[in-house]
Structure 1
Amino acid sequence: MQMNIRRLGAEDARAFRELRLEGLKMHPEAFGASFDDELAQPLERAAARLAENVVLGGFDAAGALQGIIGLRREKAAKIRHRAGIWGMYVAPSGRGTGLAKNLLQAAINEAMVDCQSVLLSVTASNEAAKRLYQRAGFREWAVDRKALCVGGAFVDEVLMRLDFA
């Protein structure tokens, strides 16, 4: 399945918000944000998030948004050399197509323009995502125990980083 990857803009805010809400609802343990909190936010907040960050989307041949990944560049002078991956999600219909790998590589390429490191966190139990990140060169550097509390259960997050040569 051919996917088109591009940076999302204000015109994509509704599709971005819908896909993000789907991810938050289907996999609450995988995100720091909660479905209820995001649902309460107006569409304008999604548009602002797209303006404040690099958010890449993967679209199928019909033009439907199938996957998203966010890249936040640090602004403070002492940490400006780092970027962070956030909010990665691929809809079930886009899984197994290579979209996740391509979205991740596109975000890495974007970060390489002006950063020296990319950091991310992933739920410790999400083996598929950890393998994806490891294949892209990310290495585990810490485990944040009880990083999230989802439905009364604690979830550990693995902190990973990719340093550019």
Structure 2
Amino acid sequence: MNLDVRSITAADWSLLRDVSVRALADSPDAFRTTLAEARAFTENVWRQRAEGSALVLVVLEDGRAVAMGGVFTPPDSAVAEIWGMWTAPEARGRGCGGGLLADLVNWCRDRDLGVRLQVTEDNQAARRLYVAHGFQPTGVREPLREGSELRVEEMQLVE
């Protein structure tokens, strides 16, 4: 097993598209974007998604994307938001998600930013990962998507 973490740029738009579509097919209730929406995005949209985030990381195992996550900072904010965390089923339980989360958190720390994320309320594995890395619920909850009965809960890094 050969793991490599790659920082995504606009030139890597097809890798971001492929891993995002795979993540949505595997875990459709973990993301705000739907699989149908992602499949309909143009190359330009994927390039903008890669450029628009402060950092997007993909974990490659023997050249195949097995995990992803990103972080962005809203304008004029001292708090960054982690988004798009996902690990492929065959890579779960091997530390890919934890390593990826640590890299994203360290990127934020290096910039003196607070860190928030959202997690679907019933995603216990992700919640355990986030709590293990110092995140705690803020009490803020909202629908995953407009009209969705699924809810996400905000968590914030507590140090």
Query: Do they superpose with TM above 0.5?
Result: yes
Deviation, 1:163, is: 4.0
Identity %: 28
Structure 1 gaps of 5+ residues are none
Deviation, 1:143, is: 4.2
Aligned residue-pair number: 158
What does residue 18 of structure 2 align with? 18
TM-score by length of 2: 0.90
Runs of 4+ with >4 A deviation: none
Deviation, 1:115, is: 3.4
Give runs of aligned pairs for residues 53-64 of structure 1, distance below 5 A.
Answer: 53=53, 54-60=55-61, 62-64=62-64
The one-character-per-residue Cα deviations of 1:108-143 (angstroms, maximum 9, x if unpaired) are 011112233110010110110000000000011114
The one-character-per-residue Cα deviations of 1:43-78 (angstroms, maximum 9, x if unpaired) are 221122111211011111x221111101011222xx
Contact (CA 8 Å) 1:16, 1:65: kept in 2 or not?
no
What does residue 71 of structure 1 align with? 71
What does residue 151 of structure 2 align with? 156
Contact (CA 8 Å) 1:143, 1:156: kept in 2 or not?
no
> Over the residues paired in the alignment, what is the CA RMSD in angstroms?
1.8
Contact (CA 8 Å) 1:101, 1:132: kept in 2 or not?
yes
TM-score by length of 1: 0.87
